[in-house]
A and B are shown apart, each in its own frame.
Chain A
Amino acid sequence: MNFINDNLLLVILFFPALAALVLLFLPADENKLFRWFALGASLVPFILSIGLWIGFDPNAAGYQFEANYPWYEALHSSLHLGVDGLSLTMVMLTTFLTPLAILASFSIKERVKAYMMLFLFLEMGMLGVFMSIDLLIFFVFWEIGLVPMYFLINQWGSANRNYASLKFMIYTMGGSLGLLLAIQMLGVLFQTYDLQEITANWSTYTSANGIMGIPVGTVKTIAFWAFVIAFAVKVPLWPFHTWLPDAHTEAPTAGSMILAGVLLKLGAYGFLRLVLPLYPDEAKYFAGALAFLATAAIVFGAFGSFGQTDFKRLVAYSSVNHMGFVVLGIAAAASAIGTPDATIALNGAILQMFNHGLSAAGMFFLVGVIYERTHTRNLEEFGGLFPLVPVYGGILIFTSMASLGLPGLNGFISEFLVVRGSLPLLPVYTAVSMLGLLMTGAYILKGIKKVLHGPLNEHWAHGEHKLTEINTREILIMAPLMVLILVIGIWPAWILDVINKAVMMLF
């Protein structure tokens, strides 16, 4: 017990990977066993991270549950883990969504063992990014997460999966090339990869000789953009977003849930954890450019979503739209870090990350539910399904409304905070982004219109094609999501307080 207490983060981080290795040695062809084992294994980090949440003191500055293990001493890199209010929220999101995604994968029939193992490895990769305070470790986990996701899309995806998985892999790796170089440069300059030390020194770093003969300012600007592009691809910001609709659409349902729910947050997290603290001046200088890209993501994401005939693609594009608000908040905060407006914008951005994790995961799952039954995602082939599946319909409308940002549900709080914080700092961009908010309504209603409302498509009403109602397992997946969506919408203080205090202390 003591070991767990002292190394709580380490246990949470590596438990899924260990479980995956155990899974490897389980007897073959026991699909049921694999599923339940994976589910159980993913619940352990969740329960532990609830303990983390309870034990976390939001009033204390800096990282908590810190632990430092030697890793690569020649490079001065160590497995340095820790969480603050920002990363804790993301860790919670990850450990909360993973069991749900695994439960959602119970309908996977082929190569269940490999699938579940990949999922558990994926969880480790994501958790590692959120917990690392060492840049090299951060990068390692950043890249580790790609591999399982690549195979999940490539092996269990739908028709166009080869193209989508390749695009996803190449694009993200292309983005992280610059990140790796920039991290290497920091490591060379400071002889350490420890984020705390680098942050303390780097933002005030000046050298008359420059770095390798290049003026410090130029190097910083280049390194800033290297970071920004890596994270912008992941978020994804316009115009780096086109991998996302493909990857989401082709990925298996649970893959999309995690992709939208957590993987996109890695990019936004990178902005918050690395870009703002390391490059405050550059971020401030380029805040307008960042806001431009964010606004373009919001507006074009919404238009793109409205233009789809594929239900899953529609939801995929909505992620571009929603994540745009995260970056808009970050850009606004970057332009006036430390002011009350910036704090509100960051509160909104971080809460929006969490909220989007809930609603996007829910939306992708619901698309998956209907896809599994009908084997089509084409909106034109649905229509009037509400009487056949009233419970599913109700859940779909509820989750859609969360995605739409209906007041009383979670999305509204975060979008309002972003708008409130950004408006005085970036009035024009915020005003333009309202166009995206308007179109959010349009695409959400389009989805509901095409699937549930209108004259019943008789094809699904009788015989072998008869559409069956959402089952208990599927409701069990949606229920926790819906409860959280509602609870945050009505009483945001419990989570926002942690975020708010973290933001106040960080920036």
Chain B
Amino acid sequence: MTTETLIWLIPLPPALAFFLIVLFTNKSKALSHSVGVGAAILSFLGSMVVFFRAVSVEHLGEHPFESSIPWMPTGDTWFNIGVLIDPLGAAVLFFVSITIFMIFLYSVGYHNFGQPAGDHDRKGLPPHGATVEEHGHKHVVPSVEPMYSRFFAFLGLFAFGMYTLVVSDNLLTMFVGWEIMGLCSYLLIGFWYGKPSARAAAIKAFMTTRIGDVFMLLGIGLLYSVAGTLNFREIFGNEELMHTLAVPGATLFGLSLAGLIALLLFIGTVGKSAQWPLHVWLPDAMEGPTPVSAMIHAATMVSAGVHAVIRMFPLLSLDHNTMGVVAFIGTFTAIFAATIAVAQNDIKRVLAYSTISQLGFMIAALGIGAYVAAAFHLITHAFFKALLFLGSGSVIHGMEHGVLHTGNHSVDPQDMFNMGGLRNKMPITFWTFVIGGFALSGFPLITAGFWSKDEILADAWGHGHLVVFLTLALAAFMTAFYTMRQITLTFLGEPRTKEAEHAQETPWTMTVPLMVLSIFAVGYGWVGIPEDFPVLGGLVPNWFHDFVGHTLHEVPEAVEFSWAPLLTSLGVALGGLFLGWFYYRNVNSAKEDFFQIALLKNKYYFDEAYDFVFVKPAIWLSEVFTYQWMDKGAIDGFLHIFGPTTGGIGGFIRNYIDLPVINKFIGDGSADVVQWVGRSLRPIQSGRIQQYMMLSLVVLVVIGGALLYFLLGL
């Protein structure tokens, strides 16, 4: 099979799995997850084949795998869609296929496959556990998810969207994948739709990202009408076009066309990658089942936003104004979200804000032109953040086990202050979580996160973006701090609740993905060690820079080595980790925690502000202004004038013309006159013959006289 054909086929198995499960196998849990996981494996294998073939091609950047077919007629020409695997695509495909496969596998365990059905479980609500009788005494065990099959169907559709996005050679099909993921994100956040909070979170996620999406759609439309195509390589390879696009000040706000288009597309990313000011949906999205948080809201969909900016980087880099905006949004988001993360107690929410912050790092990197560093961090982050989320899911699962054991449902299994000491109960989860956490913190030399974050800092320093550098360094420090806070509160010390004492390690379907991902959370960093790094540099070639860098026409140069950023990243990582452990080893409840600051805990009141500024006015505009005032009041009010008016005219005609004039005067009037005449003539009908004779004589004389007078002219 040619590589191109294979690339076409990669997205299909999960899509087929979706339809198979929905239409046929949804009654059988085992069959459904077999179909789902099987599809994930097929796509994974296909992706690996494509990846290794791509790696072995020399100058893949100039001669990528591509193939397209005509899809939609547009006047004289056709709009083509197709697949493209260039170095960036191959690198992204690699991590996407691994994480998707791992998360499919993990979901089997997470949703308690093989456990009995719950006692009172209902569709649309998380399972509450089942009572089983063993050796004569009853105890409660986790129960299987009632909508188990449906979960795998949604995951399949999601995977289809993600693969479509990655292999697309044009912006339109990429947008298709983008939106399908948006739908799945909505469906999966609202998976337990019976919970009002989950329902609200799902809608919030969809609507917030849709704000970005409509701008993106405008950007796509604009780019299409200017360039006449949406194919990446046709646009970026057309020097004349790129030249036209780059003319400064051609559009609004002094932006060039390229700048405006890139800005519009970037707003889409702001929504999808949860950047400030559209970040509000991601923390709430944690309402979804944890595999969803790991896959959609850490590893793949939110990364897709960054992926889109990386894809459009040649366009973006044409306008330094837009670059400035991108750099600002990214840097601001990185520090902004990190401050909120410090004050969160829900284990998943910490990770959610951490994700926002790390995505900010990538966006900032793109804003300062660090193309390769952004792509590198995108991939390492996907690995270790998926690992952390799955780890947190494992922790929650373990804690839920404890909750079922004690039967005290008032204990929140996600609150870190209810945990503590889990390292002994859940060793695999603990060690893999530490690896993920250290990678996130950028623990020097051995973790992947160190190499990618260091590269961003080095780029910021090397290109003289001092403000960006300092802000990101501070954000990195806080990252290490809150990560260690999380590890300390969750795993170290002594159990703070009975539930934590009875926590239990999770089954192999959950721990194997953790172990696999932790290998990449460490090892993936080694493919991108800068060549002039002291001691280690040059031992292994900086494959990543070399490979991914060739996606661009002008391969970006690796920034020169400098001690300042290296020492900074060493300092912030180690310092943050140490302080986090040092402070939180003695904190046992939320009350003792200095960082429970109201402003931070309430996320700077963005939700409340948006509700006041956007949501409430939109509802007012709909219910009151548009419907009541405009449609019912003004328009229908105007229309309803016609009824009374025509009625009035009719009434006038009847009352003032028909009745008095026509009926009374002409109609009744003529009758009246006849009657009057008749009545008046009645006295002469007396019956006396002499009188008749007399009258006849008079008439004869009168008429005769008249005739004589008029006719004969006498």
Q: A residues engaging B (CB < 8 A)?
A: 167, 170-171, 239, 241-242, 245, 300, 303-308, 340-341, 343-344, 347, 384, 386-387, 390, 394, 397, 401, 406-408, 412-413, 416-417, 419-420, 423-424, 430-431, 434-435, 437-439, 441-442, 445, 449, 452-456, 491-493, 496-497, 500-501, 504
Contact = CB atoms under 8 A, between A and B. Distances in A.
Contact of B122 (A387, A453, A501): A387
Chain B interface helix/strand/loop/mixed:
helix
Nearest to A423: B221
Interface string B622-634: 1111111011000
A304 B631 contact: yes
B702 interface: no
Contacts of B122: 387, 456
Given A307-B623, A343-B75, A386 B618 contact: no
5 contacts: A304-B626, A387-B194, A417-B72, A439-B622, A491-B71
Contact of A442 (B172, B187, B193, B618): B618
Given A445-B207, A453-B190, A453-B199, A437 B214 contact: yes
B660 interface: no
A416 B206 contact: no
A453 B197 CA distance: 11
Contacts of A413: 72
Given A419-B221, A453-B193, A500-B74, A386 B124 contact: yes
B194 A384 contact: yes
Given A300-B626, A303-B622, A452 B214 contact: no
The residue in B199, B206, B221, B224 that gathers the most chain A C-beta atoms within 10 A of its C-beta is B221
A247 to B, nearest CB: 13
Contacts of B179: 406-408, 412
Nearest to B638: A239
B23 to A, nearest CB: 10
Contacts of B75: 340, 343-344, 347, 500, 504
B30 interface: no
Nearest to B204: A445
B218 A303 contact: no
Contact of B639 (A242, A397, A434, A492): A242
B203 interface: yes
Contact of B627 (A308, A439, A491): A308
B136 interface: no
Given A307-B626, A384-B124, A386-B124, A441 B217 contact: no
B631 A242 contact: yes
Contact of A306 (B77, B218, B622): B622
Given A303-B626, A306-B623, A455-B196, 7 more contacts: A305-B622, A386-B124, A423-B218, A454-B199, A492-B71, A496-B73, A501-B73
A441 B207 contact: yes
Contacts of A242: 631, 635-636, 639
Contacts of A453: 124, 190, 193-194, 199, 202
B361 interface: no
B215 interface: yes
A493 B71 contact: yes
Contacts of B214: 434-435, 437-438
Given A394-B22, A408-B176, A445-B207, A430 B218 contact: yes
A434 B217 contact: yes
Interface residues of B, number: 57
A439 B75 CA distance: 31
A435 to B, nearest CB: 8
Contacts of A435: 214
A492 B176 CA distance: 14
Contacts of A454: 193-194, 196, 199
The residue in A307, A406, A491 that gathers the most chain B C-beta atoms within 10 A of its C-beta is A307
B57 to A, nearest CB: 30
Contacts of B72: 413, 417, 492-493, 496
Given A303-B622, A441-B206, A493 B70 contact: yes
A341 B222 CA distance: 11
A452 B194 CA distance: 9
B211 interface: yes
B241 interface: no
A434 to B, nearest CB: 4
A413 B72 CA distance: 9
A465 B178 CA distance: 41
B55 interface: no
B645 to A, nearest CB: 13
A497 B73 contact: yes
The residue in A300, A397, A420 that gathers the most chain B C-beta atoms within 10 A of its C-beta is A420
A397 B157 CA distance: 14
Nearest to A438: B214
Given A304-B622, A304-B631, A386 B123 contact: yes
B221 A416 contact: yes
Contact of A452 (B193, B220, B618): B193
Contacts of A304: 622, 626-627, 631
A93 B602 CA distance: 53
Contacts of B225: 341, 420, 423-424
Contacts of A439: 618, 622
Name the 8 nearest CB pairs between A and B, nearest first. A307-B622, A407-B176, A387-B123, A307-B623, A453-B193, A343-B75, A307-B627, A306-B622
Nearest to B69: A493
Contacts of B202: 453
Contacts of A417: 72, 74
B180 A437 contact: no
Contacts of A341: 225
A482 to B, nearest CB: 11
Interface in B202-238: 202-203, 206-207, 210-211, 214-215, 217-218, 220-222, 224-225
A233 B383 CA distance: 57
Contacts of B76: 340, 504
A394 B123 CA distance: 14
B175 interface: yes
Contact of B218 (A167, A419, A493): A419
Given A341-B225, A386-B123, A423-B225, A416 B217 contact: yes
Contacts of B630: 300
A100 B67 CA distance: 40
Contacts of A412: 176, 179
Given A307-B622, A453-B193, A408 B635 contact: no
B621 interface: yes
Nearest to B74: A344
B183 interface: yes
A435 B617 CA distance: 14
A416 B635 CA distance: 31
B622 A437 contact: no
Contacts of B627: 303-304, 307-308
A423 B251 CA distance: 14
A387 B124 contact: yes
A397 B193 CA distance: 13
A364 B215 CA distance: 30
B474 to A, nearest CB: 35
Contact of A438 (B123, B186, B210, B624): B210
Nearest to A344: B74
A347 B73 CA distance: 9
A488 to B, nearest CB: 11
Contacts of B218: 419, 423, 430-431, 434
Contacts of A456: 122, 124, 194
Contact of A340 (B74, B207, B623): B74
Contact of B211 (A401, A420, A431, A438): A438
A50 to B, nearest CB: 22
A452 B179 CA distance: 22
A323 B190 CA distance: 30
Contacts of B190: 453
A407 B175 contact: yes
Nearest to A339: B75
